[in-house]
With several copies, the nearest count.
Chain A
Amino acid sequence: MVDYTPTEMMTVSASRALKNDDVCFVGIGMPSAACNLARLTHAPELTLIYESGTIGTKPDVLPLSIGDGELCETAVNTVPVPEMFRYWLQGGKISVGFLGAAQLDKYGNINTTVIGDYDNPKVRLPGGGGAPEIATSCGEVFLVMKQTKRGFVEKIDFITSLGHGTGGNDRASYGVDTKGPSRLITDLCIMEPHPVGKQFIVTSIHPGVTREDIIANTGWTVEFADEIAQTPVPDANELQILRDLHARTAKAHEGQQ
């Protein structure tokens, strides 16, 4: 068996959630690595869309920003940003939105705005960017995020982007008819929303991780499914491709002056 890090486990698990015929709106950072890994392994026809307007991009290295030149050079087409948000995202053309978060609650509501009070923040975060509408306009949303008590909280400080709201049918009460967060992939486990209550429940645990590890790193009361799978470990091919991707990326981003 190959050695891997928890982050690699998370990235590989996240990549496996994507299907070959998905059209995926890619958030920067962890989502970008997972989406490109999927494209380079089991989902070669996966369509990746970045909010900079690049449609069907196939970057050889991970972009540092959402608008690096590689994204455009390898895309099927590059459109203006208003068109991206109007025709493609709001127009309902995207099957999956892949997002990260600074703070998350058990209903998959996302905070990337502020820690503390909005008007007198303890930490001012970058803000919502594309996420508020990615979260509501994509067919479903996958979340990927390292699991910590600070990040996985009972109540987020600011609802930047809607998940399942207060649970149950609350999401629909905003006139939103998309599925919302359907999977949360962390470095410890995979969670999926309860079919009725919509709170996240642990459905798969990564090898070597205990239930206590998950509880210790979660700010809400963790629920476990009746039957819990063990997440399949990354295979050698996935790890090799992921590591090569990161190596190419590091080289490309340091190589300039």
Chain B
Amino acid sequence: MVARFMSLKDAVSSCIKDGDTVSMEGFTHLIPHAAGHEVIRQGIKDLTLIRMTPDMIYDQLIGAGCAKKLVFSWGGNPGVGSLHRLREAIQDGWPHKLEIEEHSHAAMANAYDAGAAGLPCAVFKGYRGAELPRVNKNIKFIECPFTGERLAAVPAIRPDVTVVHAQKANKKGDVLFEGIVGVQKEAVLAAKKSIITVEEIVDNFDDVPYNAVMLPNWAVTAIVEVPGGAHPSYAQGYYKRDNAFYKAWDTIAKDRDSFSAWINEHVMNGGPEDFAAKRDANKG
């Protein structure tokens, strides 16, 4: 089934339901903030959120009460410090208890790869001498049938829905990623459904190189044009990472009230159209 162009509201409401397993990926770059806000606005609950590097947008989803469980490998505000909402959910159970399943980056990168590849599990040289296997039953070990070498195994990641942001789609719905591409392509291919927000929709991809990082339209569910939709993350070629806002988030999120006030003002009373101005402000 070929991708459909939709509004963000329709894309989220038609693809994501309470209790789903959702991956919103982006390795610092191209994080789908606008789509995350739409999930909060629609009050979707009990999500199992998957992401290698849950940062601000997952802090917001967790603080807003959308998440039941988090599967992750590094949960912090990069270069700044802790994610206060994540930390409070784990340490104090606010707004409610958050179950966690913790991995290493290598494990999750391999698990996305395995999900995209239709495998039930990923096999890799990992977790040797590390303690996570003691507390995470989804880490097992197998033996290489040729050498006897002990290898780690983790279940493949197969989200119900993957949400990512990309630079461009063309009018047919093919999607282009450029720059730090993270695990986005794998996360989409591993999922049952996908929502892709893009900076712009262009007529064609005639000038795109043969070996670009792309998804053809039949491998994608919904496409939404949201200029600036990654802010305060960034879109290479469009606007820069708003590092100042990542630093400011540390103060906003530290306190429950200031967090809730921010969500109310910028998310509950905001919309995807607000992101274009943020894109313009970070062009430099």
Contacts and interface: CB of A to CB of B under 8 A. Distances in A.
A72 B236 contact: yes
B128 A90 contact: no
A174 B281 CA distance: 51
Size class of the contact patch on chain B: 35 or more
Contact of A171 (B112, B129, B240, B244): B129
A75 to B, nearest CB: 7
A53 B281 contact: no
Contacts of B90: 121, 124
B78 to A, nearest CB: 3
Given A81-B182, A256-B244, A47 B127 contact: no
Contacts of B78: 28, 64-67
Interface stretch (B5-13, B32-40, B115-123, B257-265): B115-123
Contacts of A91: 116-118, 189
Interface in B209-225: 210-214, 216, 218-219
Contacts, number: 233
Interface string A84-113: 111101111100000000000000000001
Contact of A129 (B104, B216, B218): B104
Nearest to B130: A132
B149 A65 contact: no
Interface in B31-59: 52-53
Size class of the contact patch on chain A: 35 or more
B244 A254 contact: yes
Nearest to B116: A87
Interface string A155-181: 000111110010000010011100000
A136 B129 CA distance: 9
A81 B52 contact: yes
Contacts of B2: 21, 45
A135 B194 CA distance: 27
A3 to B, nearest CB: 27
A218 interface: no
Contacts of A69: 29, 179-180, 234, 236, 240-241
B240 A256 contact: yes
A64 B76 CA distance: 12
Contacts of B203: none
Contact of A256 (B104, B183, B236, B245): B245
A127 interface: yes
A76 B106 contact: no
Main secondary structure, interface of A, reads loop
Contacts of B150: 175
B107 to A, nearest CB: 8
Interface in A174-194: 174-176
B110 interface: yes
Contacts of B80: 64
B183 A81 contact: yes
Contacts of A54: 180
A224 interface: no
A81 B27 contact: yes
Contacts of B246: 64-65
Contact of B106 (A73, A85, A113): A85
Interface stretch (B67-75, B161-169, B267-275): B67-75
Interface string A51-87: 1111110000001111111011101111111101111
B187 to A, nearest CB: 10
Contact of B180 (A52, A90, A136): A52
Contacts of B86: 124
B199 interface: no
A254 B208 CA distance: 31
Interface of B: 1-2, 27-29, 52-53, 72-76, 78-80, 82, 86-87, 90-91, 102, 104-106, 109-110, 112-113, 116-119, 124-132, 135, 149-150, 174, 179-183, 185-186, 189, 205, 210-214, 216, 218-219, 234, 236, 240-247, 281-282, 284
14 contacts: A47-B218, A65-B78, A69-B241, A72-B180, A79-B211, A85-B109, A86-B109, A86-B124, A126-B75, A127-B73, A133-B126, A137-B125, A171-B129, A175-B128
